[in-house]
Structure 1
Amino acid sequence: MTMEGEHEHPYALINVIGGIDGVYEDHVEFLEKHLKLVTMKEFIENKQVLSHKIKAIFMWIHKPVVDRELLQSLPNLKVIANSGVGVDHLDLKLISSFGVKVANTPFAISKSTADLGIALMLASARRIVEGHQIAVSPDTKHFMGDWLGEEITSATLGIIGMGSVGYKVAQRAKAFEMKILYHNRNRRNEVDEQDVGAVYCQKMEDLLQQSDFVILVVTLTPQTYKLIGKKELELMKSTATIINISRGQVVDQDSLVNALKNGVIKAAALDVTYPEPLPRDHALLHLKNVIISPHIGSATSQTRCLMMKNMVESILAGVNGLPVPNEVHV
């Protein structure tokens, strides 16, 4: 890259390139066509020179951490682009008080996250993880004829949170001829409902009582924190399964453990927990009727690439004073 090219691109702060929580190495070529990347290490070592130049933060998988100290050290910061939908790790009021905009990537992740929700539902219903362990175990001499799962075809699916991801879940569930119920802050329009055959439940309690599978697709807010607790689990059928692809804190985990141990509900399939990962001695890790995946809702190469491109688009708009796509408002 020429020196001239460097000056044309806005400076964007990133955590690091590569590693556990760094920007993906195969994304760097695209990023450097549009942004001048500055790692946290470079920034700390050259604060005096770089603090006035940085106009954006490219926050990949929750890093770098944005706090008051960092915001105060970046006087010309215009926009923070956050990978994924959830912004519960950001203090939006604090960031807004510095005149900085925040953008996320809600539409980039909707298909892959919905796919994972359906995958978890199928895996749990058909006991695929347990079945795999039986199939590969050195102790297995024969397969049991009475080892059974449940069908999702024609079952009732309750979707809590019918945003872009929830709606994609409904589209996929329709192909399995499922009866679809949904609960949302705002009812969707009639055309949307008819397209997927979804029935609105104004009261979440009604959905919980009727559903064979309940899938959580809400954002984490003070209103959704521990949305599903002891009372809600007890409303569910004893044959029901809960699937969480939103945030771990949406479910009261202690109540969930008790419900799973005591047959209050049949099973759980979780892409999210709190904390992540769970302590290795946590009860959820040792129950046969639980499947846990490592927060991989958006973890496909295609989706992560689209997220990255959406973030670049938001940054370029933000630093040029244009409307920011997918801006998150306080």
Structure 2
Amino acid sequence: MTDADLFSTIPPSPEGFRSGFIAIVGRPNVGKSTLMNQLIGQKIAITSPVAQTTRNRLRGILTTDEAQIIFVDTPGIHKPHHELGKVLVHNARTAIGAVDVVLFVVDGSTAAGRGDQFIAELLTPAQTPVFLGMNKMDLCPEADLAATIASYEALAADHPWPICQFSATTAAGLPDLQQQLIMALEPGPYYYPPDLVTDQPERFIMGELIREQILHHTREEVPHSVAIAIDRVEEAKSITHVLATIHVERDSQKGILIGKGGSMLKTIGSSARLQMQKLITGKVYLELFVKVQPKWRQSRTRLAELGYQRDQ
């Protein structure tokens, strides 16, 4: 099916229907991707306990009887240490001015910190409506709850920012959050077919599923030094063949990823294959290669080749 065929299936919106784009912003590892997956109702963004998991702006589409919300999951806003980091932070900032509503997600299990204050100051001049979302409330110790909430109330004190408390993991508080976000949108049309959950192609999601398994199975410098290229996807009647290359910066990282006798690469491949089979609802044969690309995170040319470019 072509893009033209796909978008020809968009129906007219009913009276009173609301729609719009909502950027999910915040520090790394506050649960932005987990939140979007939970709201959408299925996994489209990778999650990991490793900070700075999200690299690309990923759109998740939630369509209900009364609204269509296009969530924009952005990279965590942090102090960049290389060219890749600069691109990610630039793109997250760009998203703030290109949406209808901003959902500023914080880690509600701990009090507001300097990183949250930095983002609050970044959002201050924006004309876009902002919601302050306190995630991970289920993890906040009861003894610290009042002080933690007070710290975020102080953060939002100079702004007309509604504060929402929820847990992306347990889904507690999410129905109320969803309804508040819908009411913040203007009346509008369907931007995408009602049954679509993301605008990203399957190849992109496949690459992210591989990267997710690397994040889960390796440590130290390896996860942040990895980029995935899906080189080939061939669909047969009973199985889909996927060929992918894992790019790293050093020979030592290549050794860690391959593991003794290829054990680590086999583990990563097996886990990623299982996730891919859920994505395409069919059998997958996944073949992985590891290639050393020295200092690829510092090279604008290499970043562009691997799909990391500054948004305009």
Structures share fold, TM-score greater than 0.5? no
Q: Which has the higher strand share?
A: 2
| TM-score, scaled relative to structure 2 | 0.26
> Scaled by the length of structure 1, what TM-score is found?
0.25
